[in-house]
Amino acid sequence: MKVIRYSEEDKIKELLERKTLNLNGVLASVREILENVEERGDSALIDYTKKFDKFDLTRENIGVSREEIKKANSRVNEKLIKALKHAHRNITRFHEGQMRRIGEEWNIETEKGVIVGERVTPIESIGAYIPGGRTSYPSTVLMTCIPARVAGVKRVAIVSPPPISDAILVAADICGVDEIYRVGGAQAIAALTYGTESIPRVDKIVGPGNLYVMTAKMQVYGRVDIDMPAGPSEVLILADKTANSRFIAADLLAQAEHDPSARCLVVTESEKIIEEAEKEIAKQINSIKTRETVKESLKNSAFILTRDTEESIKFANQYAAEHLEIMTENPEEVASEIKNSGAIFLGEFSPVAAGDYASGGNHVLPTGGTARFSSVLSVRDFLKTSSIQRITKRGLLALKETIETISNSEGFDAHRKSVEIRFNS
């Protein structure tokens, strides 16, 4: 891994900008897929699944049956089922805590006779995209479907490229998912957006995917809601001289194995920590099965050498990492200065892997610096609010002159008259 001094402005600027994913190469292909599925429905899904996944999809096997889910449960290792249930319990507890704090109706009397409030209601149907291909991701089923269920979404569907692993089916069963479809790629996003003969449309699509999936989600936004565009996974470890270099190396390697495009950074004022972590990476990398992926990912990675912790915090806020680990003498104190991060992990016994799987927080996070303005997936993403207004005659009279003055200034005569008529004898 290269070492960059924070004073090297051009190199720091390049890191902060993160080369934007080039969507131009896939835009036309994705648009064609979306239009084809909208027009041809199941027939298009069958053709694309044969072409891209080499799987013989039919109208009869697009949906996964209860019998198939039952068989998957019988084949999956009991230890994995126990682990998924443990993670499900903690993730549910966390999101139920969120729901208690944001799910209540409320109102306020803005002036005598004018009561304005807010009602919170769940989205009626959502579709979760669960990636396949490189590996199986039952944890993503938990992270996308549990908050939807806690929020009160009536219909939860998942789509995933075939063949769908038993682990994904078991996780879906634990979450009480209503429908599972063997469709992946941009065509799955199209099916959830427009609906086909076999797959009813949904109101919102969540979950990570490859470049085609991300591009499709961005193109269908407006017909449905989406959670966020997801780029390569990333971690930033903010460390001081007290940090454990073995833990730093282990956490870098853990993040690097996600994908060859993953980004892993360490920001520290300690040259000694950098030297020790480099030695640990070289020592630990040979013991992991995913080392070829890790080696590619580490080419995108770097150590950032700063003058002090204050400068490290400044870089962390500029970078706005998906995951931020704080390994310092006083991590809570440092965390109080962090404004931009998807998820923050405090102390040397809080690795990202805990948040990825079992601690309870969600692992669907903003990437690519978007933590400057967006948030972790939560029950909020599955809720919508409506304002409720109850105005008495006395209350409207108190507002009458203000309404008339503003509506006149905007040239809306009928707005003014809609108030006046209520006071005409």
* Structure tokens given for 347: 């102390």
DSSP codes of every residue in 59-114: TTTSBPPHHHHHHHHHHS-HHHHHHHHHHHHHHHHHHHHHHHHH---EEEEEETTE
Helix (H, G, I), strand (E, B) or coil at 214: helix
Q: What sign has the CA pseudo-torsion 408, 410, 412, 416?
A: negative
Catalytic residue selected from 323, 325, 348, 363: 323
Unique residue bearing structure tokens 């190396």? 249
| 296 part of the active site | no
The Cα–Cα gap between 21 and 37 comes to 25
| Listed residue (356, 349, 292, 298) closest to 323, CA to CA | 356
* Structure tokens given for 246: 């073995």
| 323 part of the active site | yes
Please list, residue by residue across 16-48, b when 16 or more beta carbons sit within 10 angstroms of its beta carbon and e when fewer do: eebeebeeeebeeebeebbebbbeebbebbbeb
C-alpha distance across the termini of the chain, in Å: 81
* Structure tokens given for 419: 């108030």
DSSP codes of every residue in 230-270: ----EEEEEE-TTS-HHHHHHHHHHHHTT-TT-EEEEEES-
Catalytic residue selected from 234, 322, 325, 348: 322
The Cα–Cα gap between 38 and 63 comes to 19
Active site residues per annotation: 322-323
